[in-house]
Amino acid sequence: MSKVGNYDINPDKRSSLGDGGIKAVIFDLDGTIADTLPLCINAFRIAIEPLAGRTLTDEDIIATFGPSEEGTIMALVPEFYDKGLADYLVFYEALHNHCPAPFDGIIEMLEFLHSRGVRIAMVTGKGHSSTEISLNQFGIKHYFSQIETGSPLGPVKAACIEKVLNNWNDLDKNEVAYIGDAPSDIIASRKAGIPVIGAAWAETTDAEKLKLLQPDQIFYSINDLDKWLQENIANDLN
């Protein structure tokens, strides 16, 4: 793997991207669109600790991730599930001013993709309600033609990516790229059979773990990804 600018190029993986360019992009949310992971953890702690009757570390909470927030609450306080979920959503929305906007450059990227006629969707492990809260807070919901959210029963990203691809069945899989910040994003994208771009700009992202899984590309800044997209978007979209 060689380094170009501030991002790595993996020549062995690059061939899975279509020679004609990218025609559609699927985004993750937490840690990719915005720095929402600390917000999630804080809301969980405030909502769940009184019900659990104990202190919860970040590790306690993160260990339950994979399922949506509903799954996290079921794992930590199953006997108080309804109250736990209701309180979590109240605190998640109330504390969202701690994360008032997407990462710098994300809205401009979405606007560029939209203006070029690139199809845009979202596949996130978040639950439906918290996803709605964040997208409404950021004012970006209208950019996504399809939004697939997580399940309380476990990871479903690969299946959700397939749902999006089924609606884009006129596209080849190598014309669609998933952008996400977690190893699970790379695994899900590989399972669904599409190229994957590692988003390594958030402080919460472990870039080394992403690199070990060899995404097609990995970027350490939104600006570098934006430049790369501008060079690799298909020319025959409009």
Query: Which residues are paired to 199 by β-bridges?
Result: 219
On the question of pLDDT at 127 being above 70, the answer is yes
Tell me the pLDDT band of 42, cut-offs 50, 70 and 90.
very high
Helix (H) or strand (E) holding 98: none
pLDDT tier at 235, thresholds 50, 70, 90: confident
Q: Residue 16 has what pLDDT?
A: 63
Which pLDDT band, with edges at 50, 70 and 90, does 3 fall under? very low
CA distance 116 to 100: 27
pLDDT at 99 over 70: yes
Give pLDDT, residue 8. 44
Amino acid identity, position 131: T
CATH number at residue 198: 3.40.50.1000
DSSP designation for 92: H
pLDDT at 9: 41
Q: Which residues pair with 72 in a beta bridge?
A: none
Structure tokens at 106: 């994300």
Mean pLDDT (whole number) for 36-49: 96
The answer to whether residues 173 and 91 belong to one domain is no
d(CA 101, CA 183): 24
Query: Which residues are registered as beta bridge partners of 147?
Result: 122
Q: Determine the structural domain holding residue 210 and report its residue range.
A: 2-35+101-232
Residue 14 pLDDT: 39
In whole angstroms, what is the distance from residue 69 CA to residue 160 CA?
17
Residues 87 and 122 in one domain: no
Residue 238 maps to a domain: no
Statement to judge: residues 51 and 109 lie in one domain? no
86 pLDDT band, cuts 50/70/90, is: very high
Does 4 score more than 90 pLDDT?
no
pLDDT at residue number 10:
44
Does residue 2 surpass a pLDDT of 50? no
Note whether 127 and 57 are same-domain residues.
Answer: no
Q: How much is the average pLDDT of 225-237?
A: 89
- The reply to whether 211 falls in a domain is yes
The pLDDT value recorded for residue 5 is: 37
DSSP-derived pairing of the beta strands 196-199 and 176-180: parallel
Q: How many domains does the chain have?
A: 2
Report the distance separating Cα 164 and Cα 119, nearest Å: 11
Same-domain status, 22 and 47:
no
* Percent of the chain scoring above 70 in pLDDT: 91
Tell me, what DSSP letter sits at residue 101?
S
Give the pLDDT score at 20: 75
- Domain check: are 12 and 42 in the same one? no
Task: Summarize the confidence of residues 167-194 as an average pLDDT.
Answer: 96
199 within domain boundaries: yes
Are 237 and 117 in contact by the 8 Å Cβ rule? The answer is: yes
pLDDT at res. 131 = 98
Looking at the fold, whether 124 and 224 belong to one and the same domain comes out as yes
The pLDDT value given to residue 234: 86
CA atoms within 13 A on the CB side of 1: 15
